[in-house]
Each structure stands twice: as structure tokens, then as C-alpha cells.
Amino acid sequence: MMYLARPKNFKEWVSKAYDKIERTIDSCQTVEHIDVAKKMVDNFIIVTALEEESNPEELEAIAHLFWTRINLKLITL
């Protein structure tokens, strides 16, 4: 069973998580690395969606951006 912990400082967490996901996608060299990036994106979306301050339209745009970057990275592997 997987548990998600709520970040203490959401605004700080979301910025750091976004940057980490971008760096992870950029550094992927195998399909296994891509799978890890996908899990990171999934967790980011879940945690962000649970926050009261989150904007659904912005979250959808961010998710679309991450998935597009992952798909582009898959093409270049």
C-alpha cells in the first residue's frame, strides 16, 4: 500500500517538485528511467490535486506539459 504525505509548505514543495521532475525527464536514458519519471508525474498530480489552493486548469496544463515532454523523450531514446 502506498501512502502520500502532505507537504508542510505546499508552495515551496510544488516549485521544487516541478524542477526535480523536469531534471529527471531531461536526464532519462532508458525506458526504465522514463517509468520513474511517469511515477513522479503521477504523484505530483495527485498531491497537487488534493491541495485546496490548486487550480484545476493549471494542473491540467502542467500535466499535459509533463506528458508531452515524456513522450518526446521516449522518441529520442
Q: Is 59 left (phi over 0), alpha (psi -120 to 50) or beta?
A: alpha
Q: What is the pLDDT of residues 2-55, one digit of tens each?
A: 666 777 888 899 999 999 999 999 999 999 999 999 999 999 999 999 888 889
**Cα of 61 vs its chain's centroid, Å:** 12
Largest CA distance in the chain: 38
Q: Average the pLDDT over 60-71 and give the result.
A: 97
pLDDT number for residue 52: 84
56-76 vs 10-27: helix axis angle to the nearest 10? 20
pLDDT number for residue 55: 92
Rounded to whole angstroms, the Cα distance separating 16 from 5 reads: 16
pLDDT number for residue 2: 62
Domain coordinates of the chain in residue numbers? Answer: 11-76
Q: Average the pLDDT over 44-68 and give the result.
A: 93
- Beta-carbon count within 10 A of 39 CB: 10
